[in-house]
């Protein structure tokens, strides 16, 4: 009884692992192909056929096909039906079967009563029949898996590998939320091309006409490395066609398994303004981070937290995350370690203003690499309280530098800002002093101490985009200082990726300046965000704030745009300043006088406004602006 049950289980497992029905189709294909081959050879008759030999050849053919198919995994459910891989396996099995039945026929054909050309005719017929059965099965499966009528009709921008893969995925998923009905591609060679049954209907400039003809309601951008300028152009074309724009996750996220190809989302202002694809030399980065003790100050901030997440990928021996905000430390610990217990040594609660605490920490933990991201960064706030900028951005940075030098830190990266280039504000001057102090420590000849300078970071706490978003959600108005003001922008991951890269190629005393692309007009960003919201929001011009530049600079006077190692990183030589050169009374006298002058100017402006001079207002809705 048990033996019978065991045999039954074995038989069921064999049947489950083999595509039985597919093999039966292939066996029938060989039998029919051999019979038809003889019929054709004898000019549509079977006059001299030895039927016993014919039966033996058919039996041998179907058995060899089974053996070859099992060896090549043709009947073991290893391949997608009708795929190129399955066709390759099928070709191998047919070729092996052909050789086995052809040899005796060629050698003993006359004695066997079978024409010598039988195998030569039968093999391609059998292969064609087997391939057709698979093709029709694949068509039937794909038709059964098509998106339902409830799926959103979409156009796909891009007929390349990414677009083709996305279309195939959508067309073979019955639960897909989107149904591709046309492709947009600007390459002339892609005109009228077909991808998984979907045709290229035209270029981006034809989008409005194509959308109207097809009834599409959304546009999916399927271009692996679409930069900000391309996405801006596509977004503008889609707006004219009244199409919702969706984008795919970054290609790196898809390849690393963090996101799926079908994880589409609405295009955001970050995509349009700050998308700068970065190619990282992993070997260069890993060389100074892997198996090293790394400390990040300001780890709870937007930049510091992302730096920690990216550094963690390279396998440091220890990652120390320092901040004075315990809640911010908990958030970054959750994102990296998967918990926020705050009981491990990877989180350090300390203030860079506390020189003794920072010195003791460095002496005890002995970091080999330090990223100094802790700073006060809000320009208007520091204009009111310049003493706070001195305590944190200048003296705090000096505390970290001196402690790092005493602890024999190998690589020190000071995170700076574009406002340190030809500085005019409290923020710019304080960060410029931090750069110079870093260069002075580098001049002592022990370790690589350098600074990295970049502009505005999209999405960081208190930055422009979150502020604009909050103002729009509140119903406005949206405030812009000046209609012509421009700024450089980069997303947090892109900026941190280049910072990590810069730490691997920077030389002692240098200021590394990240290429932020072209400066962006703030008013254009404001208008685009309002248009994307669909709300009637006013834009109010408030005037430039004290010491605020109309156009920021990345490279200061006397600094050369030298890019010896990376196309997006400029190397400039820092100007050392010894700590003994810091002059607090001069700092106080300068900014106290400036503050008093600013107060007088603002009082005068307020009086002018009371007399009837009001700031210009622009109302924006659905992309249309009118000055009121």
Helix (H, G, I), strand (E, B) or coil at 402: helix
CATH number where 411 lies: 3.40.50.720
Give per-residue pLDDT as tens, 364-392: 999 999 999 999 998 889 999 999 999 99
**C-alpha to C-alpha distances, 468 to 231, 381, 591, nearest whole angstrom:** 20, 18, 30
Give the residue carrying structure tokens 């937290």. Answer: 305
Q: Which two tokens stand for residue 311?
A: 């550094």
Compute, in degrees rounded to 10, the torsion defined by CA atoms 46, 51, 56, 61. Answer: 20
Strands (E), 173-299: 178-184, 194-195, 198-202, 218-221, 244-247, 265-266, 293-297
Instruction: Work out the angle at residue 239's Cα, subtended by the Cα atoms of residues 233 and 242, and round it to the nearest 5 degrees.
Output: 145
The answer as to whether 466 is a domain residue is no
- Residue at a domain's end among 267, 293, 327: 267
Q: Check residue 624 and give its pLDDT.
A: 34
Q: Quick one: pLDDT band at residue 612, thresholds 50, 70, 90?
A: very low
DSSP state of 317: S
Q: Check residue 451 and give its pLDDT.
A: 96
Same domain, 406 and 263: no
Selection from 472, 397, 385 nearest residue 435 by Cα: 397
Q: Quick one: pLDDT band at residue 11, thresholds 50, 70, 90?
A: very low
The reported pTM is: 0.69
Which of 336-340, 521-525, 561-565, 594-598 is least confident? Answer: 594-598
The answer as to whether 181 is a domain residue is yes
Cα 237 to Cα 244: distance, rounded to the nearest angstrom = 11
Q: Which two tokens stand for residue 434?
A: 């931090």
For residues 131-142, average pLDDT: 85
Determine whether 577 is exposed, middle or buried from the number of CB atoms within 10 Å of its CB (0-12, 13-18, 19+).
middle
Q: Quick one: pLDDT band at residue 254, thresholds 50, 70, 90?
A: low
The answer as to whether 484 is a domain residue is no
Backbone torsions φ then ψ of 287, nearest 5 degrees: -60, -30
Same domain, 256 and 306: no
Same domain, 408 and 373: yes
Q: Which two tokens stand for residue 507?
A: 């030389």
Determine whether 2 is exposed, middle or buried from the number of CB atoms within 10 Å of its CB (0-12, 13-18, 19+).
exposed
Same domain, 500 and 361: yes
The sign one gets for the Cα dihedral 368, 432, 305, 362 is positive
Give the residue carrying structure tokens 């910072």. Answer: 499
Number of domains making up the chain: 3
Same domain, 322 and 351: yes
Same domain, 288 and 259: no
- Residue at a domain's end among 82, 110, 144: 144
Which contiguous run of DSSP H or E holds residue 360?
Answer: helix 355-365
For residues 474-484, average pLDDT: 90
Which contiguous run of DSSP H or E holds residue 362?
Answer: helix 355-365
Same domain, 157 and 57: no
- Residue at a domain's end among 144, 177, 197: 144
Cα 244 to Cα 221: distance, rounded to the nearest angstrom = 11
Helix (H, G, I), strand (E, B) or coil at 414: strand
The answer as to whether 157 is a domain residue is yes
Which of 24-33, 134-143, 319-328 is least confident? Answer: 134-143
Compute, in degrees rounded to 10, the torsion defined by CA atoms 465, 471, 476, 478. Answer: -40
Helix (H, G, I), strand (E, B) or coil at 218: strand
Provide, rounded to the nearest whole percent, the portion of the chain with pLDDT above 90.
43
**Cα 122 from chain centroid?**
52
Query: Is 70 exceeded by the pLDDT of residue 133?
Result: yes
The domain of 575 spans 282-455+491-515+550-582
Give the residue carrying structure tokens 């280039």. Answer: 421
Q: Quick one: pLDDT band at residue 138, thresholds 50, 70, 90?
A: confident
Contact 100, 36 (CB under 8 A): no
The answer as to whether 471 is a domain residue is no
Same domain, 330 and 429: yes
Same domain, 21 and 109: yes
Same domain, 93 and 129: yes
Provide, rounded to the nearest whole percent, the portion of the chain with pLDDT above 70.
87
Same domain, 400 and 504: yes
Same domain, 378 and 429: yes
């Amino acid at each position: 009884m048990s033996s019978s049950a065991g045999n039954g289980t074995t038989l069921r497992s064999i049947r489950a692992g083999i595509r039985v029905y597919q093999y039966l189709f292939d066996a029938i294909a060989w039998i029919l192909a051999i019979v038809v081959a003889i019929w054709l050879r004898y000019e549509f008759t079977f006059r001299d056929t030895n039927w016993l030999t014919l039966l033996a050849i058919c039996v041998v053919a179907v058995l060899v096909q089974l053996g070859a198919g099992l060896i090549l995994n043709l009947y073991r459910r290893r391949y997608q039906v009708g795929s190129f891989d399955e066709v390759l396996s099928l070709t191998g099995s047919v070729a092996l079967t052909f050789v086995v039945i052809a040899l005796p026929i060629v050698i003993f054909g006359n004695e066997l009563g079978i024409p010598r050309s039988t195998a030569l005719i039968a093999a391609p017929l059998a292969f064609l029949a087997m391939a057709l059965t698979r093709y029709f099965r694949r068509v039937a499966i794909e038709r059964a898996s098509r998106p339902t009528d409830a799926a959103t009709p979409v156009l796909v921008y891009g007929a390349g590998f990414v677009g083709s893969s996305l279309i195939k995925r959508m067309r073979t998923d019955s639960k897909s939320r989107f149904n591709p009905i046309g492709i947009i591609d600007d390459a002339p060679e892609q005109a009228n091309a077909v991808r998984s049954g979907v045709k290229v209907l035209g270029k981006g400039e034809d989008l409005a006409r194509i959308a109207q003809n097809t009834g599409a309601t959304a546009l999916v951008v399927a271009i692996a490395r679409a930069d900000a300028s391309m996405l801006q152009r596509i977004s503008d074309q889609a707006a004219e066609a009244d199409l919702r724009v969706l984008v795919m996750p970054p290609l790196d996220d898809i390849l690393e398994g963090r996101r799926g190809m079908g994880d589409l989302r609405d295009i955001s202002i970050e995509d349009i303004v700050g998308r700068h694809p970065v190619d990282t030399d992993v070997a260069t980065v890993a060389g100074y981070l892997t198996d090293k003790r790394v400390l990040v100050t300001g780890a709870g901030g937007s930049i510091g937290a992302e730096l920690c997440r990216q550094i963690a990928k390279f396998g440091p021996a220890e990652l120390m995350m320092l901040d004075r905000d315990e809640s911010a430390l908990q958030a970054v610990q959750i994102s990296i370690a998967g918990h926020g217990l705050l009981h491990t040594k990877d989180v350090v609660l300390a203030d860079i203003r506390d020189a003794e605490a920072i010195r003791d920490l460095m002496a005890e933990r002995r970091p080999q690499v330090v990223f100094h991201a802790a700073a006060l960064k809000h320009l208007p706030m520091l204009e009111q309280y310049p003493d706070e900028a001195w305590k944190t951005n200048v003296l705090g940075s000096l505390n970290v530098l001196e402690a790092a030098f005493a602890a024999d830190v190998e690589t020190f990266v000071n995170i700076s800002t574009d406002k340190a280039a030809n500085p005019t504000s409290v923020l710019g001057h304080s960060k410029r002093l931090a750069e110079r102090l870093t260069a002075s420590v580098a001049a002592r000849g022990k370790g690589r101490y350098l600074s990295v300078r970049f502009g505005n970071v999209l999405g960081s706490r208190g930055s422009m985009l979150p502020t604009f978003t909050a103002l729009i959600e509140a119903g406005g108005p949206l405030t812009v200082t000046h209609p012509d003001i421009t700024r450089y922008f980069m997303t947090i991951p892109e900026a941190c990726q280049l910072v990590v890269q810069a730490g691997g190629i920077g030389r002692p005393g240098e200021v590394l300046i990240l290429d932020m692309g072209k400066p962006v007009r703030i008013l254009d960003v404001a208008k685009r965000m309002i248009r994307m919201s669909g709300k009637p929001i006013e834009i109010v011009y408030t005037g430039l704030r004290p010491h605020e530049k109309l156009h920021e600079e990345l490279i200061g006077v006397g600094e050369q745009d030298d890019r010896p190692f990376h196309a997006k990183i400029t190397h400039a030589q820092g100007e050392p300043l010894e700590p003994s050169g810091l002059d607090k009374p001069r700092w106080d006298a300068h900014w106290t006088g400036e503050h008093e002058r600013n107060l007088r100017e603002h009082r005068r402006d307020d009086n002018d406004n009371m007399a009837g001079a009001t700031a210009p207002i622009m109302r924006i809705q659905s992309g249309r602006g009118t000055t009121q």
